[in-house]
Amino acid sequence: MRYHCVPLFGPPGVGKGTQGGILANIPGFFHLSVGDVFRSIDIGSKNGKEVYRHISRGELVPDDLTIRIWRKAVDAYIALSRFKPREDLLILDGMPRNVHQVQMVREYLDIRKVIYLRCSDEEDMIHRIRRRAIRENRIDDANEEVIRNRFRVYHEVTAPVLSQYDESTVHHVDANGSPAEVLRSILGCLIPVQNELFENNRRENEFDE
């Protein structure tokens, strides 16, 4: 089954996690942060050691390992009935992060829209990330050189992902505004997608009856 999905896309510190966390509280949306999944892995395990080795340097985790860990997390959330693929729109934060991953996840994801969060002040985002490191005890966000390397990786490797999607699919959001303003713009894109999903489910249920 391909999951109905809307990726949250944008540079580090732009607010993907903040907006995803808000959307997670709205019925019909399931937010999955791949970064949070990585940070929750046992650092003493084989996968945990490899993940930490890369994120501690501001590097991308290798594609095969990323997809394997992501699929395991999704399966676990489905088994716990926290994510219901037929009913929920998957709000995916932190993947795909390169062009190759776009190809790798096509068999799993039905991309309905892409939310592109844009912020014009990179230095402000760096300061946001450093404040977040203190507030949330995120080791990978504590070192400024590591943060700057994450931005280099984003510009060189992740930013080209956007060109893999039809422009009509991409919803641009100015992330410089207040969280409420940003949320309003995001919901303006997501509500029609969710309505379509609900209507399709209603028709399927009527047919089954």
Q: Which of 12, 60, 62, 64 has its CA nearest to residue 157?
A: 60
- Print the domain residue range for 109: 3-208
What pLDDT shows up at residue 21?
94
pLDDT greater than 60 at residue 209: no
**Six token digits for residue 31:** 């937010």
pLDDT greater than 90 at residue 1: no
What pLDDT shows up at residue 158?
96
* Collapsed DSSP state (helix, strand, coil) of residue 76: helix
What pLDDT shows up at residue 137?
66
Q: Per the structure, how many domains does the chain have?
A: 1
What pLDDT shows up at residue 118?
92
8: CATH: 3.40.50.300
Query: In the predicted model, what is the mean pLDDT of the chain?
Result: 90
* Collapsed DSSP state (helix, strand, coil) of residue 173: strand
- Write the pLDDT tens digit of every residue in 58-82: 889 999 999 999 999 999 999 999 9
Separation in Å, CA 75 to CA 3, 10, 17, 83, 108: 12, 26, 21, 9, 12
pTM of the model: 0.88
Residue pointed to by tokens 């080209």 = 160
In this structure, the chain runs to a length of 209
Residue pointed to by tokens 């489905």 = 78
Element containing residue 30 per DSSP (H, E): strand 29-33
